[in-house]
Structures are given as structure tokens and as C-alpha cells.
Structure 1
């Protein structure tokens, strides 16, 4: 794994080990041999130590009659029976050299290094690390833990060259008052830098390994957003042999600096799949570029306190206690998905279609300890919040398996196809509060049914590759045989509908 520009091994990593036998000829010269025994021996790291394959045993460093063993290792281990063709000498043949001058690691593995081909697509961390190549010659020293015996030590040296591109990164800060308490909050700006076949270390840095023993040219172009936000385009041309083995070359775009700026989070901002935010002003010129649309998960619809309500509250008009217990970091905003989870599904089937779930929970005595803790957080939460009521549906379904919740099941399916970022709540079924905020821009007093918030979202969804609200949508707020809905088309009428009816559902997420 990466520690800045240093590398550390993790459990499961494998190195290949080869032995070289040196036979002293007594005239200042030695013969050096590589035999099949312990050629490309696979050693596996368990997080603490490297283990040999079952039954394998290393040859002692010093043997009788002036014979010595030298040890060479490389990473990552290659399951290749032709390893004899990837080292400096043929198997079993003698190479005469001055006594005590074994090959350097680069000399010994010269064919392997020369022919090493980093993956053309290094976009996953596994492909990126598998493109690396490190070699070393071992030294035998006394054990460092004070016990008898020796240890074989390798100091690996990178043989590939590393190209790093870094664009500027921005952290936006702002203050927000909820329940009379002023808090400073922050979020990261989405940069837009699309790595394609590079490994993207974070939202503003990407890496690519190249073989400096070959003269290869590689041209890369991309866009990024600066803090204005303004979309900029850049290009980099790499020449592999211009970077020395074991070093990295850092390309900084527009200085590549980190900065902090003041900007509050706003309804209509775009929530991205890496957990960052792209300000809505970025779409003022029209639709977002296709690669940016691919990174967009949803549009922010709720920021700050509304009519005295906020999901983080603990006072009267309480918030979502369960959400704050599970995800206390999710205090900035809520976003709604770009697409419907399903075009039409019943709210419930079976017993749950006629049961008031909250009333059931109040009277139920069969919860496990973990379920009881969930129920107590649900019971303490304010009515109409979606995350806690989503869990209530799960609790009911766990004890009444004949009941299904088709609308919520579609949100689970949507979540599988659109992974939630770290630091978010994950996708959940919106409650009355969330659904009303998406349509009316208010959480409770919505009798006049304003459409400003719905119109804002509907104007932004297509710019990010999504679809506008259209038709009637479920919330998970219910009273027994019915559940609360809003018709997002035309009249934007709200009201209860039978749980057996089929309506649309769209997922939301807190961050």
C-alpha cells in the first residue's frame, strides 16, 4: 500500500525468491550457479512475517567447502515456470566472477526488468500494484528480537517509473446554525479529473507506472474544475525513459495546490460518487460533460434547518436519531438520486399491507438486543424521517417474512447498482419530511404546495444525465393500510394511498 511515495506490504502479498550458489575456486574467482531448487519460491506475507510454502526450506548462507548462498527476491511474484529465462544466467550453467561479487539485483533480474509490461489499464488499485516491479538481494543478519538464529532481509527497490498528475483541490467551508447552535462545516469540491486507465489515488491525484527501460510515449488529456467553479482542460505527454527507475515525476496542473474557500452548501449542488460536491453553477452553461455525468450520484435537496426541523436535532420536533447514531458525520445535506429506483411498485404485500408498523413496534416484545437498540432509536426519532422508518420496515420484515416491501426492495436494488460513497448514510427510502422537501422545499407546512424545489431539481436532473420527477411517489410514512405520497406532476397533490397501489420511488442519501 502507499504511504506517500513509499510502499508497504500488506497481508496476502507475495514475493518470488531465487537462490544463487557461489563455489569458491581458490584463485580469487568463483563459479556462480542457479539451480531449479528454490527458483521462484513463493513467499506470502501474513501481515507480520513472510512464510515459505509447505515443505520448502532455504539453503543455508554458508555451507561446507567454501560454498555460499546468495538470495534474490522480486515483487510481485509471477506464477511462471519459465522463470529461468528471466534471470541473468542459464539454469545450472556456471558464470565465473571474482569471489564475493554476486550480481546486483538489477543485473540478476535484467531480463525480467527489461520485458516487464505494466498494465495498460491501471484504473483499479489491484492493477496498479500488479504493474509495479521491485527487486532486492538479501542479507543475512542476527535476529533483531534477541532470539537465537538469523533473519534474511530484503530492501526492495522499484524498477518502474511513476508518473503522478495533481490538479488543485479545494475545501469549501461555511457555518450553519441548527437548534440555535452554530457549527462550522466543510465539503470537498469535485475536481472532475477522469483517470480512465490511471489509478486515482484521490479526487485530485492519479498515478501511472511505466517501464523506463523502454521508450514509450503516452498522451493523456482530461478536464478538472477549479474553485470558481470553472471547467479547465489539460494535457500531459509522458515519455517513459525520461523518468529514472525507482523515481516519480510529478506533473502539477495550474500549480496543483490545495486551497480553502468560503461557500455554503446549496440545494441544487451535485453530489458525486466520491463524496465530493460540484456546485450547481457548473451546469449554468448547459449539460455536464459525459464523464462528469458518470460521476454524479444525485442532486442536493435539503441543506440546513427548515421550519425548525433538521435530521440532526435532539429537541422538540426531533430529528432522525437512528441516522445520527449510525452516521453522526452526515450533517451537511441530503441528496436525491438522479433516477427513479422503479417505475411502479406496491408499498407492501402480506401482513405489512394492513399493519401500522410504528404501532406494531410499540407493542412487540420479541426483538433481539440489536433490534431493540434500533427500535429505541426509531421510537425516539421524529415522525416522518426516512432513515429510521426504513429500518422499521426492515425490522418488521425480519419477523414477518411473508410480508414484502416491493418499493423499498427496489431502493436496495438501486443501491447495489449505484454504490454510496464512504462517509454517507447509504441510500434509503425517503420519509414524509424528505419527500416534501424535494417537492415543496418545506418539511411540514406545505398546504399551499409550492413547486419551487421540484422545479429546481427537475431542471438540474437532465444536466447530470438523470430524469425529472414525473408521477406519484411513495414515502415510507404510513398509518396502517395507507402510506403518504406526492404527485410530482401537475397539481403536486399529496395524500395517503393504499399500500397495495403501485407508485414510483426514488432513493435519497445523507452526507
Structure 2
């Protein structure tokens, strides 16, 4: 804080006066497109007050004040889904918006975008487009003051007059623009061409009463923080990550050892859960949690480390191939983007949410897979139960330094296999 606070004088200073040098020099990040990047750009200050309580305890209270200014970009909203089960929040579909300049705002659940600027300095120009780039817009934030916000309406920012009531359920079609089509609809040719994912789990399918590890989209703190509005359900890609099976690694190596070591050092490392199963009680283990998003981020960081240090034989193959898959098969708009599912998510894709995925398997544990495969077949995708239903899929969950979890789609059987021995398929999923 050296040089970032005012010199104390005989007169009392407000927090704004005391922190004036810090506030004036504060530079929000140019890329605020993730929740973490947005919040780290938000400077808040406070003046504390102290009171003495019982037993001479000292109580401090603070009222935080925003010191940056906020730009709110209102986009035209195409659809608002109001789900029949009120436990699922409204789902807003706005046109796919691309920001082409250095300024990368954060998308909010209501379809707007937010971008923090320092009103005391020149704000970057916000450039973007939508409708496949055919409609462009430019915003120059100005006339802002500390702690205030200003809205900019793109092309009038129209909204639908009435929400669409929708019963969200397994087998629903999720299109590239983020819109939904019920699983019972006979799809048109155009609709088929735009389907990229199939819903396989929603929060309404999990009864938390008496449960030990109920499925939750907030257990993955990284996903919840970076995509706080992807809280409606999970969907699986209509295609496999690769047309050919693969090993998890060609040469086995402990990814968790990398994760817990100094070479994995994101700013929010404390929020990451180990990708390796250590529990002796499967019901309490991390393989019974939705963690595929954060696991995939760990695997990508590990692969980057390996490539930078001449260890390409150690690359985690499903995670590496996923990068190519993403460039050729964009995830639904407004979703988390594709990731390799955890063992829990794979089991839910085949059966449903249970406390111990290692004990729920036989040829009757495939009700979700059957529903999902019917929808995938309708759009000519790669069904989950292909190869006479004996298909196996790698998860992003590590079992040990030499093993990783996978699932047989015919029975929902979760297996801990040698990384360099099993030659299995990989599938991508996302939260939306």
C-alpha cells in the first residue's frame, strides 16, 4: 500500500479521501469476461467503526462502497424460459455476442453484460457484434462517476413480451444459440442442424433429503464462480470428442501431484478440490461430486506444463483432444463451454444421481442413457451406448498416479482403470 494512501493530517479523512491515490491509480482488468476477473477489478473501500461489547470485546463494522463505475450493456433478448418447476431459475437466451476489442465484459444471467471502468481515467472502447457478426456496435463509456452505473441499449435492447413456459427434462434439445426444444417435438431439418447438446440432468431430479452427496452445480466452486448463472442443468454433446478410442495417458503420471505442487498456481487455487479420489468411503468421495469443469481446467494446466517441459508423452489425451473438439464443435451459447465430465457426471448421464456411484450398476441402470440416446439419434449424433452398448468413457477423475475412472455405458459401471492400458472414448458435457 506504499504511496497508495493519503498522508494523515490533523483532520479526519473519509475512506474515499484516505484511499484517493489508490482509487485514482486503480486499473480494472481489460478482460472481465469471467466472474473472477470481474470481481477482482471491483475496488471497494470502507471506513470502519469500532464499538466495545460485552467482556471488553471490540466489534468492527464496515460498509463497503464501490469506487469504480459500472457500464451495463443491454442486448436484445430473444427468449425467456420460465420453467414449470420453480426450483429452476428463469433461463434467458440472448443473441450470441462477440466482443472484438480489448474490453471483454461479463455476461449476466439477465442477458446484460457488465464492465467496470475507472471514471478518473480513459475507459477502453467496447466493440462487439451479434447475429453471426452481421450487427455491430461500439460503446464509449463516459459521463460516469465513482460508484455509479450507466446503461447502454444495443439496438433498442428489445425483450419478449411474454416468457415461454417450459418443462425442463432429460432428453430436451439444446441448440447452438442456447435455446431449448422439448424432447417430444418432431424436429424440423433446421432445428436438427442447430442442436449441439442434449439435457441429461436438472436440479429437479435430485431429492436432497437424507442424501450424503446430492448432485449440486455449486459444489464445483470454480465453475460456480466463473459461470454463476449456469445453474439450470447439465447437457452432453451430440458427438464424441474423438472418433477413435484413446488412453488417458500414454505414460502414467500423477496429475494430482502437479495440482498440489507449486507449478499449479491459479489465484484461486484454494477453491480447487483434488481431482484424485483419496477417500476409503466411496459415498463420501469426490467421485460422487460434480467436478468435471474444475478437473478439466487442472488437466489443461497440467498438459500446458508438460508441453513446456518436454513431457509430451505424459499429456492427458481426452483433455488435449477436447481442445480440438471445441474449435470444431462450439458449445451452446451462454453455457460453461465443453469439459470432460467427472465420474459422477458420467454416471448421471447413464443412470441418475445416487450417493455411491460405484455400487449402482447393472443393465437396468441406464434409464437416462436411453432417454438421451433417443434424442441423439433424432439428430444423427453419436449415441452414448454405441458399439452394441458396450461403450466405455474416460472421466476427468483420477484414481491414482497410474489410474483414472471410466464408465461402461451399458451398465453404468464405474471402473478405476490403468491410464496407459485402457483404450476408451471421451465425451464432452457442459452446464447451462
Partner of residue 171, structure 1:
80
Partner of residue 361, structure 1:
259
- Once the two structures are superposed, residues 102-125 of structure 1 have per-residue CA deviations (whole angstroms, 9 ceiling, x without a partner) of xxxxxxxxxxxxxxxxxxxxxxxx
Partner of residue 392, structure 1:
298
Shift of residue 456, structure 1, vs aligned partner:
0.6
Residue 269 of structure 1 contacts residue 277 of structure 1 at CA under 8 Å; is this kept in 2? yes
Map residues 14-163 of structure 1 onto 2, 5 A cutoff: none
Question: Does the residue aligned with 2:185 lie in a helix, a strand or coil?
Answer: helix
How far apart in 2 are the matches of 1:202 and 1:340? 28
TM-score, with length taken from structure 1: 0.47
TM-score, with length taken from structure 2: 0.55
Map residues 266-415 of structure 1 onto 2, 5 A cutoff: 266-283=169-186, 288-304=187-203, 306=206, 308=208, 309-313=214-218, 319-342=219-242, 343-350=244-251, 353-355=252-254, 357-362=255-260, 364-367=261-264, 371-379=265-273, 383-384=286-287, 385-401=291-307, 402=311, 403-415=314-326
Residue 302 of structure 1 contacts residue 437 of structure 1 at CA under 8 Å; is this kept in 2? yes
Partner of residue 376, structure 2:
461
How far apart in 1 are the matches of 2:179 and 2:94? 6
How far apart in 1 are the matches of 2:271 and 2:315? 23
Question: Does the residue aligned with 1:312 lie in a helix, a strand or coil?
Answer: coil
Shift of residue 505, structure 1, vs aligned partner:
0.5
Residue 425 of structure 1 contacts residue 509 of structure 1 at CA under 8 Å; is this kept in 2? yes
Could you say what the CA RMSD is over the residues aligned between the two structures, in angstroms? 3.1
Partner of residue 343, structure 2:
432
How far apart in 1 are the matches of 2:262 and 2:424? 33
Partner of residue 396, structure 2:
476
Partner of residue 143, structure 2:
none
Partner of residue 419, structure 2:
499
Shift of residue 189, structure 1, vs aligned partner:
11
Change (3 A) 1:358 1:444: farther
1:451 aligns with 2:392: no
Partner of residue 197, structure 1:
none
Question: Does the residue aligned with 1:331 lie in a helix, a strand or coil?
Answer: coil
Residue 321 of structure 1 contacts residue 378 of structure 1 at CA under 8 Å; is this kept in 2? yes
Residue 301 of structure 1 contacts residue 335 of structure 1 at CA under 8 Å; is this kept in 2? yes
- Once the two structures are superposed, residues 437-488 of structure 1 have per-residue CA deviations (whole angstroms, 9 ceiling, x without a partner) of 1011225334332111011111111102212112111111112211111111
How far apart in 1 are the matches of 2:266 and 2:161? 45
- Once the two structures are superposed, residues 273-314 of structure 1 have per-residue CA deviations (whole angstroms, 9 ceiling, x without a partner) of 01111111213xxxx33322110101001110635434433x
How far apart in 1 are the matches of 2:405 and 2:350? 13
Instruction: List alignment gaps of at least 5 residues for structure 2.
Output: 1-76, 96-128, 136-158, 209-213, 276-284
Return the index of the structure with the highest Cα Rg.
1
Shift of residue 421, structure 1, vs aligned partner:
3.8
- Once the two structures are superposed, residues 188-221 of structure 1 have per-residue CA deviations (whole angstroms, 9 ceiling, x without a partner) of 599xxxxxxxxx9769xx99xxxxxxxxxxxxxx
Greater relative contact order (Cα < 8 A, sep 6+) = 2
How far apart in 1 are the matches of 2:356 and 2:192? 34
Change (3 A) 1:260 1:324: same
How far apart in 1 are the matches of 2:396 and 2:333? 25
Shift of residue 170, structure 1, vs aligned partner:
4.9
Change (3 A) 1:298 1:394: same
Residue 436 of structure 1 contacts residue 444 of structure 1 at CA under 8 Å; is this kept in 2? no
Equivalent residue pairs, number: 265
Residue 189 of structure 1 contacts residue 278 of structure 1 at CA under 8 Å; is this kept in 2? no
Question: Does the residue aligned with 1:485 lie in a helix, a strand or coil?
Answer: strand
Residue 347 of structure 1 contacts residue 406 of structure 1 at CA under 8 Å; is this kept in 2? yes
Map residues 135-284 of structure 1 onto 2, 5 A cutoff: 170-174=79-83, 184-188=89-93, 258-283=161-186
Question: Does the residue aligned with 1:358 lie in a helix, a strand or coil?
Answer: helix
